[in-house]
Chain A
Amino acid sequence: MSDATFIVVAAIAKILLIWAIALAALLPNLVWAERRGAGMIQDRPGPNRVGPFGLFQAVADVIKLFMKEDVTPTYVDRFIYNLAPWITMMPALVTFAVIPFGAPLDVTIGGVTRHVPLIIADVNIGILYIFAFASLGVYGIVLAGWSSNNKYSMMGGLRASAQIISYELSMGFAAASTFLVAGSLRLPAVVEWQQTHVWNVVPQFVGFLIFLIAVFAETNRLPFDLAEAEAELVAGFHTEYSAFKFGMFFMGEYANIIAASGLVVTLYFGGWSLPGVAFTGVWGALASIAVFFAKTLMFIALFIWVRWTLPRFRYDQLMDLGWKVLLPLSFFHLIVVAAFVAAK
């Protein structure tokens, strides 16, 4: 097997692996966990009829989405209306590409040993890639809201766009601090730094809080779900979407939550590493993947917990928090971290 073939085969294997875990295993169960969690917090059973503990509810939901009628209302802008779900779903699915999800592994095939880092694409502009694709998601929401030609969708799309861009700045400044200490824009470098030093959450706790709040706003989750605000806007930008076009928005939203949790874990909680544990060999790699997804699951649980606990912000409160609190705070945080790095 030549080097080029090996790289392509390894890339396909890694893509399949990460999607099998994140999309096929995590995503449906995440929807289930969210509804059961809601039931638990609101003192009611939640979905408990399909399968044991209602575990097959997600499967039933997917089949239902397939059987539904895909209505395209007559007055929509057809081209953009059909394009928007793609622009939301595709970036959400490919954000995983630059997040390292396990310890590097040596693979021997036909007497040749090759080093395989467990990351789909180890590009030197990792964080830039993530921010670029996170921003692309905004287009999907705005275009969906505009092309639906429905006043609720329009307002939902507008609110979502203004919210996402407002929090992206704080998110960028907070993330920059973790790359300052690592001295590289590659996410594996951040993980390596945390392995040899300390998890970023300890010295950069303020940065972590800023980043976490911004991530909640970026993924349009409560308490920042003004884009949907079902009491005011029906469902916001996807009111006019039905069947699997709606399903694509839904998939995009949950894939974003998984990717965002993975990113928080990678930047602030040591990624796949554990302090004092060396992951070597195939079993080590498998264990590190398990560690990564266990940490990611904790943040997903936090997302669900927060959603059913906190009430929604008002729009002016949301903008105040973003521009008047988080942005100056993240400025200040960056300069303090930079001073520490420069002093070394």
Chain B
Amino acid sequence: MGTPSAFLPILLMLTAAAIIGAALLFLNGVMGRKVRTLRKLGPYESGLPLLDESRKRISVKFFIVAMVFILFDVETGFLWPWATVLDEGGWVVFWPMVVFLAVLALADAYLWKKGAFDWE
């Protein structure tokens, strides 16, 4: 069950998914119309002429969310192995994770107070 061969069906499935995608796009390429005009190949702006550029400055909030996510997500990674042994270990296994989660909750509270989660 834990051997690499257990992942073989997933590889099969990925290959099959790729074949399905390729077949659909191929059919589309054969059957679809091909009439290219200058206007059609321009950016779609709901019919209005293009007035500004698409590469704008991005709000720093997105970067903060991304960073906070990475921090927390790596830490949830520790939960998975812990979840499998808790029922055998009992309280001895329970308390270290509570301490760990308390640190996480503290970080969460700090970020909250700093306004990292506030969007105007």
Contacts and interface: CB of A to CB of B under 8 A. Distances in A.
Interface of A: 7-8, 11-12, 14-15, 19, 65-75, 85-86, 89-90, 93-94, 97, 120-125, 127-129, 148-154, 158, 161-162, 165-166, 168-169, 172-173, 176, 179-181, 183-186, 234, 239-240, 243-245, 247-248, 315-316, 319-320, 323-324, 327-328, 331, 334-335, 338-339, 341-344
Interface of B: 1-2, 5-10, 12-14, 16-18, 20-21, 24-25, 27-29, 31-36, 40-46, 52-56, 58, 61-62, 65-66, 69, 72-73, 76, 79-80, 83-91, 93-94, 97-98, 101, 104-105, 108, 112, 117-120
Contact of A331 (B53, B85, B94, B104): B104
A334 B35 CA distance: 57
B80 A176 contact: yes
A319 B90 contact: no
Nearest to B72: A169
Contacts of B91: 342-343
25 contacts: A7-B5, A15-B9, A15-B12, A70-B28, A73-B43, A73-B44, A75-B42, A90-B14, A90-B18, A93-B17, A94-B17, A121-B13, A122-B6, A128-B80, A158-B62, A162-B66, A166-B65, A183-B83, A183-B86, A234-B46, A323-B108, A335-B101, A341-B87, A342-B89, A342-B93
Contact of B7 (A73, A123, A341): A123
A172 B43 contact: no
A68 B54 contact: no
Contacts of B34: 69
A319 B117 contact: yes
Given A15-B16, A172-B79, 10 more contacts: A7-B8, A67-B33, A70-B25, A90-B21, A124-B6, A165-B73, A168-B69, A181-B87, A183-B84, A334-B101
Nearest to B1: A124
Nearest to A155: B56
A151 B27 contact: no
A243 B66 contact: no
A123 B2 CA distance: 6
A334 B86 CA distance: 12
Nearest to A320: B117
Contacts of A185: 80, 83-84
B17 A90 contact: yes
A179 B76 CA distance: 13
B80 A14 contact: no
Contacts of A172: 73, 76, 79
A240 to B, nearest CB: 6
A187 to B, nearest CB: 13
A329 B53 CA distance: 41
Contacts of B46: 234
B12 A11 contact: yes
Nearest to B73: A169
B32 A323 contact: no
A127 B80 contact: yes
Contacts of B72: 169, 327
B13 A69 contact: no
Given A122-B6, A176-B80, A334-B101, A68 B28 contact: yes
Contacts of B88: 183
Contacts of B25: 70, 244-245, 248
B69 A166 contact: yes
Contacts of A128: 80
Nearest to B59: A158
A339 B12 CA distance: 41
Given A162-B66, A169-B72, A342 B1 contact: no
Contacts of B17: 89-90, 93-94
A19 B17 CA distance: 10
B86 A324 contact: no
Chain A CB count within 10 A is highest, among B53, B58, B86, B118, for B86
